Amino acid sequence: MSQIAPTTRLIALLALLLAVVSALWVWQGLPDNGRAFILNLRLTKLVGLITVGAAVAVSTVLFQTVAANRVLTPSIMGFDALYMLMQTVLVIVLGTTAYVTLPASGKFLTEVGVLCALAILLFGTLLGKGARDIGRTILTGVILGILFRSADSFLGQLLDPDTFATVQSTQIASFNTIDADLLPWAVGISLAAIALAIRLGPQLDVLALGRNTAVPLGLRHSALVIGALALVGVLVSVSTALVGPVTFFGLIVAGLTHGLAGTARHRILLPVAALIAATILVAGQFLFERALGLGGTLAVVIEFAGGLFFIHLLLKGRVR
């Protein structure tokens, strides 16, 4: 169709932009001493940032499609809070020592699996019927988010300080400290999930029409909802495990994507979203860590700048 050319150009442009900021990130001011070590450090972080960006972006776009709504995101509906709650429960059930000595990969895969199951159970029932009363659904999501977060902090209060510290270290958003042990797993899992999502593209396009329209078109609605939610669960686990909860980033990226892409086709939306998110994260971290020397504050600034931009889009009526 007619909009294929501009969208391919957009994707190429974004990919180029990401390549440039990545190159800048890796080679800018590389010292002569300990080159290999620093290079390794920077590459690890680069891969981590790109993975997180792509995971947040794709999961948000998917979730908005499942909900047939542009204002819901996994974090607004309490997904990452659920992940953290699950982690705390895991620490309590296993005990601190067991939790710490558990191999990172096994722990991570268990968490991914459990979150998927919970996501399907909870949000499948909530959204599967096509959410008759969308107001009620949003309200439910916000409430669930508060419930999970409060329950998590509550359990935290019951823990002894040592254990609490173990748990808390994983639960504060920071792009500064990316867990390198998890990275290969996170990259592999999210690549698989994103590839699957892109494969499902045409079906997702129909899903986005809402249940009343999609079912008569012969879409296997419930199956696709469950599948998409499972992918969301996987991707949210990845991003939360790597950097902690990033509340508004997904909303911002999805808003930007829908505003920029000018199409509703997921084969285009999903890569565009992933590229935008990765570029923002890498460029942002570069700016803050190298230029401003404020490495720890990127998460805060993203909330701020992205939030302002989102409000701007809202006012222009471009976010729906």
Q: Give the number of other CB atoms < 10 A from CB of residue 69.
A: 18
User: What gap in Å lies between CA 232 and CA 220, rounded to an integer?
Assistant: 18
User: What gap in Å lies between CA 45 and CA 286, rounded to an integer?
Assistant: 11
Q: Is residue 251 a contact partner of residue 30, using CB atoms and an 8 Å limit? A: no
Distances (CA, A) of 213 to 41, 129, 166, 209, 221: 49, 13, 48, 6, 10
Of 247, 257, 279, 285, the one binding other proteins by CB under 8 A: 247
76 contacts other proteins (rule: CB under 8 A): yes
Based on DSSP, count helices (H) and strands (E) in the chain, helices before strands: 14, 0
Tokens coding 293: 């020397």
202 contacts other proteins (rule: CB under 8 A): yes
142 contacts other proteins (rule: CB under 8 A): yes
Site for other proteins in 32-51 (CB under 8 A): none
CB of 275 to other proteins, least distance (A): 20
Number of residues that bind other proteins (CB under 8 A): 62
User: What gap in Å lies between CA 136 and CA 113, rounded to an integer?
Assistant: 28
Of 123, 149, 175, 244, the one binding other proteins by CB under 8 A: 149
User: What gap in Å lies between CA 281 and CA 52, rounded to an integer?
Assistant: 9
Ramachandran angles phi, psi of 286, nearest 5°: -60, -50
Of 92, 96, 248, 287, the one binding other proteins by CB under 8 A: 248
- 36/315 with CB nearer other proteins: 315
Site for other proteins in 281-300 (CB under 8 A): 296-297, 300
235 contacts other proteins (rule: CB under 8 A): no
CB of 158 to other proteins, least distance (A): 6
Give contact residues for other proteins (rule: CB under 8 A): 64, 68-71, 76, 134-136, 138-140, 142-144, 146-147, 149-151, 153-154, 157-158, 201-203, 205-206, 208-213, 215-220, 247-248, 251, 258, 263-264, 296-297, 300-301, 303-304, 307-308, 310-311, 314-315, 317, 319-320
